[in-house]
Amino acid sequence: MVGKKRKRMMLHAYSSLYLDKSSRTLGNMLHDAVIEFGMDGTDFLNRFIQSDIAEQFENGNPKYIAGKSGAELFLEVVEKTTGDSYIEKMKPIEVYDRSDVYWVGWILAHYQWYSGRTFKSILDTISYRELLGLYGTLHEADVQKSYEVMDAHFFNTESKLKTIRKRCGLTQEALAKVADVSVNTIRAYERKSKDLNKAQFDIIMRLTSALKCDISDLLD
């Protein structure tokens, strides 16, 4: 019907039935790192991304989204990225504090599931410190409000593809023709409604060739 807004169809890596568990697990993991062991939140989340555990969440691996506790994830991140073992230092926690730190892990899991974006892409756009700053206004609001606020960060931040395309003096149509990629695909990557980091390798190579740039210049 003309004038009606069509809802964007979202494809999720795993069922919403697992979302409560996965988000609590990430919240507990971050709580352990920052509150229990005094680690810097930004540094720990970078380690989470460097390990393959973030990717396991993004792919909906049931072993990680439903089969491990936050404490187990914390231990695995630390061991994989530093070689250290904290297992003897861990104390069982009966109830986790629903603090701002816990909420950051919780909303990261929610938004990654909702958007399909990588954790790296999310944290490159909205930093750990910025997420902490959103706690006061969003932690008691409906989660949909958090999705909208985080979406706005992406839509208000120019994509690398758009920046490089404009620097090269190309329109979206011109780039689409040179790279042999549909203009709708170019628009989706620039709007960040599609994640260029997950694009087929041949599409990325055609874009880098057309823009005369390196892959690292184009991807987040």
**Mean predicted confidence (pLDDT) in 106-118:** 94
Residue 46 lies in a domain: yes
Quote the Cα angle for 71-75-79, to 5°. Answer: 170
Structural domain of 180:
160-218
176 and 140, same structural domain? no
Token pair listed for 120: 């790296």
126 and 164, same structural domain? no
Residue 5 lies in a domain: no
Q: What is the pLDDT of residue 194?
A: 81
Query: pTM of the entire structure?
Result: 0.71
Q: Where residue 167 sits, what CATH number does that domain have?
A: 1.10.260.40
148 and 199, same structural domain? no
Closest by CA position to 76, among listed 93, 57, 51: 51
Q: Which of 139, 155, 171 is the last residue of a domain?
A: 155
Q: Which amino acid is it at 211?
A: L
53 and 109, same structural domain? yes
From residue 162, give the alpha-carbon distance in Å to each of 26, 142, 193: 32, 32, 13
Q: How many helices (H) and strands (E) does the chain have?
A: 14, 0
198 and 144, same structural domain? no
109 and 36, same structural domain? yes
Give 14's contacts (C-beta < 8 A, 6+ positions apart).
22, 60, 62, 65, 113
Check if the beta carbon of residue 21 is closer than 8 Å to that of residue 69.
Answer: no
106 and 186, same structural domain? no
124 and 44, same structural domain? yes
81 and 178, same structural domain? no
Q: What is the pLDDT of residue 11?
A: 73
122 and 50, same structural domain? yes
User: pLDDT tens digits for 122-170?
Assistant: 998 889 999 999 999 999 999 999 999 998 887 777 788 988 998 888 9
